[in-house]
């Protein structure tokens, strides 16, 4: 399967959620990751949380040997998380400002207020050869601050885009397009994720450039219940195909 300028990283958290509902090891996130890569995904994403309600730290360790594309670990930079990332050494770590009790990520970093925390952690990861990304909204000052802190990339938090696109707003992607251009100008790569799906992904990728990667989990795994996991990966890859 082709690799397009915007790459697809599949978040396998929901595979682990289903496994944990019954116990045992079925479905297996490691086996799923192997298939997802074979079917054309450009990377695997996980977001382990302290309560281990889906992906566990042990899952992350087991995934490392089988992820031959690009491994992206997301999470809040608690001491345990930092130690895990430095042990596993993924290709990319995406720092997310979510406290332990949230259901899902719901805000980007305030890189101005959290500069001391972030600068130290970013430096440790970069010294280990791990690309760093910060989960961000579209605020110009905070994006500039992310560059000043030494981050390699930002991941644009796209829930507001998904809601506006669903409601028919024709300019839903405009703030993200502006943010991506600014990030590129200040030396940051751009990823995106959260609530991207087959209804809104192609429009986002067409308008928001440069865009190195999208990370998609819940929507893709949900679609797989209807069309199968292999077909779901293929359909999301097709949505990333550049428009002529």
Q: What phi and psi values does residue 234 have, to the nearest 5 degrees?
A: -60, -40
Q: What phi and psi values does residue 193 have, to the nearest 5 degrees?
A: -175, 160
Convert the pLDDT of each residue in 53-103 to its tens digit.
Answer: 899 999 999 999 999 999 999 999 999 999 999 999 999 999 999 866 655
For residues 116-136, give the mean pLDDT. 97
* Amino acid 103: pLDDT: 52
Q: What is the band of 106 on the pLDDT scale with cuts at 50, 70, 90?
A: low
DSSP assignment of the chain equals: ----SSEEEEE-HHHHHHHHHH-TTSS-HHHHHHHHHHTT-SEEEE---TT-SSS-HHHHHHHTTT--S-EEEEE---HHHHHHHHHH--SEEEE----TT-SS------TTTTHHHHHHHHHHHHHTT-EEEEEE-S-HHHHHHHHHHT-SEEEEE-HHHHHHHHTT-TTTTHHHHHHHHHHHHTT-EEEEESS--TTTHHHHHHHS-S--EEEE-HHHHHHHHHH-HHHHHHHHHHHTSPP-
Quick one: CA torsion of 21, 27, 29, 31, rounded to 10 degrees? 170
Of 52 and 122, the structure prediction assigns the larger pLDDT to 122
Residue found under tokens 């000043």: 148
Q: What is the band of 104 on the pLDDT scale with cuts at 50, 70, 90?
A: low
Domains of the chain in start order, with CATH, are 7-239 (3.20.20.70)
Asked if 96 contacts 74 with a C-beta cutoff of 8 angstroms, the reply is yes
Catalytic entry in 54, 165, 194, 213: 194
Query: In the predicted model, what is the mean pLDDT of the chain?
Result: 95
Q: What phi and psi values does residue 205 have, to the nearest 5 degrees?
A: -65, -35
pLDDT higher than threshold 60 for residue 5? yes
For residues 161-179, give the mean pLDDT. 96
Percent of the chain whose pLDDT exceeds 70: 96
Convert the pLDDT of each residue in 28-56 to its tens digit.
Answer: 999 999 999 999 999 999 999 988 889 99
CA distance 69 to 38: 10
Catalytic entry in 54, 70, 74, 213: 74
* Amino acid 51: pLDDT: 86
Percent of the chain whose pLDDT exceeds 90: 91
- 54 assigned to active site: no
pLDDT higher than threshold 60 for residue 244? no
CA angle 235-240-244, nearest 5°?
A: 120
pLDDT higher than threshold 60 for residue 236? yes
* Amino acid 101: pLDDT: 60
pLDDT higher than threshold 60 for residue 134? yes
Cis preceding-peptide flag for 27 (omega within 30 of 0): yes
* Amino acid 52: pLDDT: 85
pLDDT higher than threshold 90 for residue 127? yes
- 194 assigned to active site: yes
Asked if 220 contacts 14 with a C-beta cutoff of 8 angstroms, the reply is no
* Amino acid 155: pLDDT: 98
CA distance 233 to 223: 9
């Amino acid at each position: 399967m082709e690799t397009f300028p915007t790459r697809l990283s599949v978040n396998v958290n929901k595979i682990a959620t289903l496994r944990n509902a019954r116990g045992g090891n079925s479905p297996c996130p490691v086996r799923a990751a192997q298939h997802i890569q074979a079917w054309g995904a450009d990377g695997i994403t996980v977001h382990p949380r302290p309560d281990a309600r889906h992906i566990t730290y042990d899952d992350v360790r087991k995934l490392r040997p089988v992820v031959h594309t690009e491994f992206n670990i997301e999470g809040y930079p608690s001491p345990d998380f930092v130690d895990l990332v430095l042990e596993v050494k993924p290709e990319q770590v995406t720092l997310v400002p979510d406290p332990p009790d949230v259901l899902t990520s719901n805000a980007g970093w305030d890189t101005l207020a959290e500069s001391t925390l972030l600068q130290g952690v970013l430096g440790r990861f970069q010294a280990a050869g791990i690309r760093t990304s910060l989960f961000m909204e579209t605020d110009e000052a905070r994006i500039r601050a992310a560059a000043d802190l030494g981050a390699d990339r930002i991941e644009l938090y796209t829930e507001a885009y998904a809601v506006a696109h669903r409601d028919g707003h024709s300019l839903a992607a405009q703030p993200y397009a502006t943010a991506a251009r600014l990030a590129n100008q200040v030396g940051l790569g751009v990823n995106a994720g959260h609530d991207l799906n087959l209804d809104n992904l192609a429009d986002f990728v067409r308008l928001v450039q440069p865009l190195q990667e999208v990370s998609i989990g819940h929507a893709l795994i949900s679609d797989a219940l209807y069309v199968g996991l292999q077909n779901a990966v293929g359909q999301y890859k097709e949505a990333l195909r550049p428009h002529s």
